[in-house]
């Protein structure tokens, strides 16, 4: 059993969790979990194989029937207990986020708060499932439409907010009567995987309903998606991988919910509260080192206030403290791995070589990359259309509302966004023209609330999660008709 008592030794979490048992994987190689700040080895987990994928899905399939029949109140009690486990273990979970993700303590508090909100909502969501009785043109016929669990859900979670973004699917799927198999990202197998198994184990979730597999496509190929048991696959990650997940799932007639990349624009109109807009823009871009799909890659500023905003914003960014995430004063910690640090550094170098002006040019030391602020970009600069998963921001001036909308929409992504203006009605009008699934007036691009539909347009994903959208995602409808009296037939 995984032990919460000592997070300095994570070996008890370094297992597969299948049918209520903590088991070693049987693969031929290990997933090695490193601290991204200092490179320390945290744990080593032998990868799960295709056989273990099958065991996990079969366990979920066996367990889900009794769980669905237990009813929403019984399921809700388990979710309530899981919330209490997180509340009781918040200190230990914070230390894990700092060590495994390189997350700052501010980031850890933010993620844990989101996770608690999601568990709180999941405890209630099962009680909101409703069926319908619909009229019929046939005399004496009664039409009942029931909403039922889909059965088993496969969840593939990311590294950036692994606890919260895994729970965003796992918690409502369980609450609604399904079994779940979770595959966390290789960089965060504990925070995004086995920790969640331990939380629900301590909360008294019946065995088999939640299974966690630590593995990789190199070991199991597409078996996690192709397996015949799961009816819904949720994935959070890059648009490239999401396209593959959707393609494989579609071939097997499975539904998908995909939360993919973003390239959000934060628009600052000439009448905006500039001091406030600066604060919001700093958070919207540099929270979690910019490793958030909703982050404001691009800050669009009306040319009338460009100089004033840019000076204040660059000064604020330059003052951000970069360093050890365990230090409570640190605001920018490491990126998740060296490859990520190399990628963002190369993107900045390419942009500057192409003519961008670096108002602030960050430096890289291992996985620590300090912030960069770029402006003067050519309209066709490739960096303007990419998702940037690191501490760099692009400042783009505009003239007037129409140009701001055109620039904001000039991207293949459409996840989030923000508009800052003293005229709320104008802000709403602009927001309605931006091609995103979510956009916020006088607030951050980074917003996620448990009752509000979350998801993107264009290449930012398919489907929605949270609130009633989670009910749509993790349940299905069944029509049962009853003929009262004798019906007449043409033959």
Tens of pLDDT, residue by residue over 413-445, are: 999 999 999 999 999 999 999 999 999 999 999
The tens digit of pLDDT for each residue in 124-168 reads 999 999 999 999 999 999 999 999 999 999 999 999 999 999 999
Q: pLDDT grade, residue 5 (50/70/90)?
A: low
* Relative orientation angle of helices 90-101 and 162-175, to the nearest 10 degrees: 130
Tell me: the pLDDT tens digits for 458-472?
A: 999 999 999 999 999
Position 6 pLDDT exceeds 80 = no
Q: What is the pLDDT of residue 385?
A: 95
Q: Which residue from 382, 443, 392, 395 is spatially nearest to 417, judged by alpha carbons?
A: 443
Residues 371-388 have a mean pLDDT of 96
Residue 1: its pLDDT value, please? Answer: 59
Give pLDDT, residue 4: 59
Domains and CATH numbers, the chain: 11-260+460-478 (3.40.605.10), 264-441 (3.40.309.10)
pLDDT at 24 over 60: yes
Residues in the chain: 491
Q: Is the pLDDT of residue 77 over 70?
A: yes
Q: For the ranges 9-18, 217-226, 470-479, which has the lowest average pLDDT?
A: 9-18
What is the predicted pLDDT for the residue at 11? 86
Q: What is the pLDDT of residue 268?
A: 98
Percent of the chain whose predicted confidence (pLDDT) is above 70:
98
Q: With DSSP H G I counted as helix, E B as strand and the rest as coil, what are the percentages for the chain, rounded to 5? A: 40, 20, 35
Cα distances (Å, whole numbers) of residue 173 to 153, 159, 255, 338: 7, 20, 14, 34
Q: What is the pTM of this model?
A: 0.95
Instruction: For residue 466, give the H/E element and its range.
Output: none
- Once rounded to an integer, what is the mean pLDDT over residues 93-106? 96
pLDDT score for 478: 98
What is the structure's pLDDT at 331? 97
Q: What's the pLDDT band for 2 if we cut at 50, 70, 90? A: low
Query: Strand 368-369 and strand 364-365: pairing?
Result: antiparallel
pLDDT of residue 9: 73
How high does pLDDT run on average in the chain?
A: 96
pLDDT above 90 for 46 = yes
Q: Give the model's pLDDT for residue 8.
A: 62
DSSP string, 3-28: -SS-TT--GGG-SEEETTEEE---SS
Task: Tell me the average pLDDT across 278-298.
Answer: 97
Q: Which residues of 463-488 are buried (b: 16+ CB within 10 A; e: fewer)?
A: bbbbbebbbbbbbeeeeeeeeeeeee
User: In this predicted model, what pLDDT tens digit does every residue of 50-71 receive, in sequence order?
Assistant: 999 999 999 999 999 999 999 9
Helical pair 467-474 and 105-125, crossing angle rounded to 10 deg: 60
What pLDDT score does 79 carry?
A: 98
């Amino acid at each position: 059993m995984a032990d919460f008592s000592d997070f300095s030794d994570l070996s008890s979490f370094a297992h597969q969790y299948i049918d209520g048992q903590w088991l070693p994987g049987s693969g031929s190689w290990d997933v090695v979990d490193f601290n991204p700040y200092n490179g320390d080895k945290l744990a080593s987990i032998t990868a799960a194989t295709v056989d273990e994928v099958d065991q996990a899905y079969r366990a979920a399939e066996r367990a889900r029937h009794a769980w669905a029949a237990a009813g929403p109140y019984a399921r809700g009690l388990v979710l309530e207990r899981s919330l209490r486990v997180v509340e009781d273990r918040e200190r230990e979970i914070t230390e894990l986020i700092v060590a495994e993700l390189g997350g700052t303590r501010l980031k850890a508090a933010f993620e844990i708060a989101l996770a608690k909100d999601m568990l709180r909502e999941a405890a209630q969501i099962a009680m909101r499932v409703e069926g319908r009785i619909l009229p019929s043109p046939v005399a004496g016929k009664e039409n009942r439409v029931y909403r039922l669990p889909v059965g088993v859900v496969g969840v593939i979670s990311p590294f950036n907010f692994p606890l919260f973004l895994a729970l965003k699917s796992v918690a409502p799927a369980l609450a609604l009567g399904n079994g779940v198999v979770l595959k966390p990202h290789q960089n965060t197998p504990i925070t995004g995987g086995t920790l969640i198994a331990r939380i629900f184990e301590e909360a008294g979730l019946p065995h088999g309903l939640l299974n966690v597999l630590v593995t990789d496509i190199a070991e199991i190929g597409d078996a996690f998606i192709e397996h015949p048991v799961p009816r819904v696959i949720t994935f959070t990650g890059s648009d490239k991988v999401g396209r593959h997940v959707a393609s494989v799932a579609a071939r097997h007639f499975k539904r998908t919910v995909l939360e993919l990349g973003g390239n959000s624009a934060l628009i600052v109109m000439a009448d905006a509260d500039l001091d406030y807009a600066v604060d919001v823009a700093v958070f919207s871009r540099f929270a979690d080192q910019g490793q958030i799909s909703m982050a404001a890659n691009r800050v669009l500023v009306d040319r009338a206030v460009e100089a004033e905003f840019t000076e204040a914003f660059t000064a604020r960014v330059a003052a951000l403290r970069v360093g050890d995430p365990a230090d409570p004063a640190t605001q920018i910690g490491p990126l998740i791995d060296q490859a990520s640090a190399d990628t963002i550094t190369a993107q900045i170098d390419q942009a500057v070589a192409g003519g961008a002006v670096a108002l602030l040019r960050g430096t890289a030391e291992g996985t620590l990359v300090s912030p960069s602020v770029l402006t003067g970009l050519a309209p066709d600069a490739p960096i303007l259309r990419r998702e940037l998963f690191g501490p760099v921001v692009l400042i783009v001036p505009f003239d007037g509302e129409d140009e701001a909308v055109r620039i904001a929409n000039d991207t293949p992504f459409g996840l989030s966004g923000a508009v800052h203006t003293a005229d709320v009605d104008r802000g709403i009008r602009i927001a309605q023209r931006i091609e995103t699934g979510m956009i916020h007036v006088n607030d951050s691009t980074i917003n996620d609330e448990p009752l509000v539909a979350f998801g993107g347009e264009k290449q930012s994903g398919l489907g929605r999660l949270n609130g009633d959208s989670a009910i749509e995602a993790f349940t299905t409808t069944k029509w049962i008709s009853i003929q009262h009296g004798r019906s007449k037939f043409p033959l």
